[in-house]
Structure 1
Amino acid sequence: EWPEWGNPLEDPDAYDYMMSYSPYDQVSAQAYPPILATGGLSDPRVTYWEPQKWVARLRPATTSTNPVLLKINMEAGHGGASGRFDFLKEIAHDYAFAVWALERSWEGA
């Protein structure tokens, strides 16, 4: 991807730009909302350990009592679960978390 983004090993501007949007490197002590980080074991673009490392960094950094959860689908790739019904179950899980998180924020308001 260096032709598109630049070579961070040789170009300090490319390195700084990439670091500016790196979720892992932007974690700081602050109140984070409820987070559900997801990944797929067979994802060639975002390897399963990347969301794991991000969650491991977020959990001690958050100053809120909101959960920082991790779900790795052991049968999924970059697009999530394959198969129509497995894909829908995965989306339903994500939507259920979003609804729960919104209800939680309204109760605390």
Structure 2
Amino acid sequence: GFVYAIAHVRGGTERGWRWYEDGKLANKPNTFSDFIAATRHLIAEGFAAPDRIVAHGGSAGGMLMGAIANAAPALYAGVIADVPFVDVLNTMMDESLPLTPPEWLEWGDPIRSAEAFAAIRSYSPYDNVRPQRYPAILALAGLTDPRVTYWEPAKWVAKLRATMTGGGPVVLRTAMDAGHAGAPGRFDRLEDVARAYAFAIACVSGQIGEGKRAAAD
């Protein structure tokens, strides 16, 4: 079986409006450090081990997945990023995208503010991929997604594959008939969940990624 944990990180409203404010704009890195701290707490308390943890998040939570993969890759056997908002800087600089101007209140306006540009640049997952080992990563995209355009996860995956020095694999699945909430078919959502679960099981059971190398050793 699995232990399932939900990290109520700053940037959400689970602990009130101040909790939300402490995870937006220049405070956005608090979201990432909170998630990593929650992961380390699970390890310290004996609920999990680094080679048996799979993180999962979608949309802005997918950005969180990209950020923790950059910042603390050794803590995770796998990362599942569902329609991940990983090219934050370029998206927030493209005024032609319908959701960009309204989202400046959340992330900042990097076109008109040098401070916002620097802040977003410091954590945007695509811009912070570095030469290091990465956990196994599954990126899920939808071709007709109007919120997180399909090329964001595609660019991210391509950069990871070109830059990483080991680890992986890094897998991209783009659903040709899916939007931001997934494909419209009756059983499509169940298939998406099953696919994510299968990837997670493969990560912790030694079939792929660091778990496979540990089993071989």
- After TM superposition, the score normalised by the length of structure 2 is 0.47
Query: Using the alignment, how far apart are the partners of 1:60 and 1:6 within structure 2?
Result: 29
Runs of 4+ in 1 over 4 A off after TM superposition: none
Query: Using the alignment, how far apart are the partners of 1:46 and 1:2 within structure 2?
Result: 15
Alpha-carbon deviation of 1:23? 1.0
SS at match of 1:101: helix
RMSD of equivalent CA atoms: 1.5
1:24-103 equivalent positions in 2, closer than 5 A: 24-103=126-205
Alpha-carbon deviation of 1:84? 4.0
Query: Using the alignment, how far apart are the partners of 2:212 and 2:156 within structure 1?
Result: 27
What are the superposed Cα offsets for residues 58-104 of structure 1, whole Å, 9 maximum, x if unpaired?
Answer: 00211114211110011111112224411010110011011101122
Asked if 1:18 corresponds to 2:158, the answer is no
Residue type matched to 2:184 in 1? Answer: S
Asked if 1:108 corresponds to 2:198, the answer is no
Gaps of 5+ in 1: none
Residue type matched to 1:87 in 2? Answer: R
The percentage of counterpart residues that share the same residue type is 53
SS at match of 2:140: strand
Asked if 1:3 corresponds to 2:3, the answer is no
Higher relative contact order (CA 8 A, sep 6+): 1
Residue type matched to 2:116 in 1? Answer: A
Residue type matched to 2:213 in 1? Answer: G
Length, aligned pairs only: 109
Query: Using the alignment, how far apart are the partners of 2:105 and 2:188 within structure 1?
Result: 36
